[in-house]
Amino acid sequence: NAGVMQNPRHLVRRRGQEARLRCSPMKGHSHVYWYRQLPEEGLKFMVYLQKENIIDESGMPKERFSAEFPKEGPSILRIQQVVRGDSAAYFCASSWGRVNNEQFFGPGTRLTVL
């Protein structure tokens, strides 16, 4: 039973390019969460999605960032026109339900913007 999978593990982009980060939740999990960890900081909640729905995007920057979790396929976090400040580790977590308190994390994608 594979855990949460994220790819790519490392992503390098130049300023102005787009970054697409993928997350496949654990089997049977329909709730996905994205977090960002800036250097020397904790994990910051970005967005919570269920299949085909964004439930809570209160932690997501208003511009350039978007997320989706289609009926088929992985969840995608998309960052358009990346800037140096977007360099961070992006973690995805999944859970069976929202009431269920334990979230299982993927290994993260480390984004570096040159």
Which stretches of the chain bind another protein, using CB under 8 A? 4, 6, 33, 35, 40-45, 48, 56, 58-59, 91, 93, 98, 101-108
CB of 81 to another protein, least distance (A): 27
N-terminal to C-terminal alpha carbon distance within the chain:
36
24 and 4 in contact (C-beta within 8 Å)? yes
**Among candidate residues 50, 44, 47, 26, the one with its CA nearest the CA of residue 89:** 44
Which residue number, 50 or 80, has a Cβ lying nearer to another protein?
50
| CA 65/CA 102 separation, integer angstroms | 26
Which residue number, 17 or 45, has a Cβ lying nearer to another protein?
45
Which residue number, 27 or 81, has a Cβ lying nearer to another protein?
27
